[in-house]
Amino acid sequence: MDILKRQLEREKLARKEAESILEKKSSELYEVNQKLQKVADNLALQHAVSRVLSNASSIEVAVQNILQIMSEILHMKVANFWEADQHGSLLNLCVSYYVKKAVLKNFVGACKQFSFLPGVGLPGRVFQSKKIDQIKDVTKDTNFPRASMASVAGLHSAFALPLFIETRVMGVIEFFTDKIIDFDPILLSVITEIGNQIGIFLEREYARKSMLETQRIAGISEVTTSMLHNIGNILNSVNVSISMLQENCQQSKLNDLLLLRDLLKSHEHDFIDFVSNNDQGKQLPTYLISLGDYWQNQHKNIQEEFLSLMKNINHINDILKSQQFLSGSFGMVEPIQVNNFLDDAVKINSFTLNSIDVVIQRVYEDLPLILVDRIKLLQILVNLVRNALQAVANNTVEKKIILKTITDKKMVTIQVSDNGRGIEKNNLIKIFSYGYTTKKSGHGFGLHASALSAQEMGGKLTAESEGTNKGTTFSLILPYKLGPAHK
C-alpha cells in the first residue's frame, strides 16, 4: 500500500513537472512567435516604405503615401510631416495623414497653426537632438504645446523621427496613437533606418529637382540670348532707318523753302512783275515744279523708311509677346494652341532664320486648345527649331524645315523635321543623355532637359534619322487633353 502511494506521488510530481515544463515552453514559444511577428511586421513596414519610394512620382506624393502606409501598419491615428524652412531654424507643417474622424481632423487643423523652433514640442526636440524620440502621454508632457488639443482628440503616445539630407535635418515625421504605450526599442530602431532610407530618397529627389531647375534656367537663358540677338539685329535696322531719315531731313532741298518764302515776301507787292520780268522770278515756276518732283521722290523714300521702321518695331513686339512665358508660372497647365506655339518658336529663332536661306514648311492639323505646361512646351519647341536651323546651316542643297502637328484624339504629335546633317544611328540613343553633345559650343542640356520636360508632361520626345546628311525628325508626343472650351 505504501509502495502504491509513493508511486502515485511520484507520478503526480512528474505530471506537475511536465505541466510546468510545457507551460514554460508554451510561454517561450509564444514569446518567440511574438518576436517573429514583430520581425515580420518590421520587414513588412520596410518593404512597404521601399515600394512607396520606388513608385513615387514626386516628393509630395511619396511623403503622403509613407505617412498613410506607416500609420496603417503601426496602427497610428495621426501622422505629420514637419519641414524645415530654408534657414533651418523653424519647422512648418507640410503634409498630414489621419484616420477619418472629426476630432482628428480638428487636431490636424490646429497643428497647421503651429511652427516649432529647435527644442520646442516633440518635433522641435527631435529637430534639435537629431535623434528619434517618444512621449508616453502627450497630454501630460510639459514640453508639448498641443497637449490640450491632443486630449480632446483622444491622442496619447507619440514618437517622432528626423529626416536627413547629408547631416542636416530637413524635416521631422511624428506619429500619434490613442493608447498609452512604451514603443518597442527594436521598432524604433527599424523606424530610424526607415528615416534614413526616406532621407536618401529626399536627397536624391531634391538633387534631381535642382538639376532640372538648373536646366530650366539654362534653357531660359538660351531663349533670352536668342531674343536679345533678334532684337539687337532688328534695332540695327531701326538705327539705319532713323539715320537715313535724319540725314534726309538735314540735307533736304525743302529747307530752301525758307529762302523762297523770304524771296516771295520781299516781292509780295510786285509779284506779277517779278515773275514776268525779273530773271530770277522767271525761274520760279520751273523751280517749284522741280521742288515738287523732289518732294514726291523724298516723300516716297521717307514713307518706305517709316514702313520699314513700323515693320521692325512690330517684329520686336512679336518677339516680346512670344517671350511672355518667361514671366509665367513654371509648372502651370493651361489651354494653349499648339500651332501658334510652333510659330512662336520660329519667331524666337528669327535671328538664326534670317541669317540663312531656309524654307519653313508648315503642315498643321486644325487642333483645339490643349491643356499643357506652356513654359515647358515652348522651351522644347524653341530648342527643336534652333537645332533644326543649325543642322541645315551648312547644307549645299535647299535648306528645308518641316513643322507638323498630328493627333489621333489620344495623343498630340508635334514634329520638327530637317534635311540637314542627320544623326548617326549609334548616336540616336545618346542624344537625350545628360551632357551629351556633338556641337563644339554645346553643353548637352537642351535635348536632355527637353526629354525630361516631355516625361513630366506625360509624354515623350523621340528622334529618327537615317544617318549622316539624311536629316532628322524629332517628335514630341503629348497627351490629348482638351482645354475647357472644348470639353
Beta strand 472-479 with 411-418 is antiparallel
Q: What percent of the chain has pLDDT over 70?
A: 82
pLDDT cut 90: percent of the chain above it:
31
Q: How far is CA 467 from CA 192, 359, 402, 427, 463, in A?
A: 54, 22, 18, 10, 12
The C-alpha angle with vertex 60 and arms to 59 and 62, in degrees rounded to 5, equals 65
Q: Which among 315, 346, 176, 140 is positioned nearest to 241, based on CA atoms?
A: 315
161 vs 231, residue with greater confidence: 161
Segment 297-350, tens digit of pLDDT = 887 888 887 877 787 777 677 666 656 555 554 556 788 899 988 988 888 777
Give the C-alpha separation, 369 to 339, whole Å: 10
> Does the structure show a pLDDT above 60 at 376?
yes
Question: Which pLDDT does position 219 carry in this prediction?
Answer: 64
**pLDDT per residue as tens digits for the range 340-370:** 889 888 887 776 776 788 999 999 999 888 8
**E strand spans, 342-398:** 358-363, 370-373
Contact at 8 Å (CB) between 436 and 428? Answer: no
**Residues 47-58: pLDDT tens digits?**
777 787 777 777
d(CA 81, CA 101): 19
Per-residue HEC secondary structure of 411-435 comes to EEEEEEEECCCCCCHHHCCCCCCCC
- pLDDT, one tens digit per residue, over 106-126 is 999 999 999 999 999 999 999
pLDDT above 90 (res 155): yes
Q: What is the pLDDT of residue 265?
A: 86
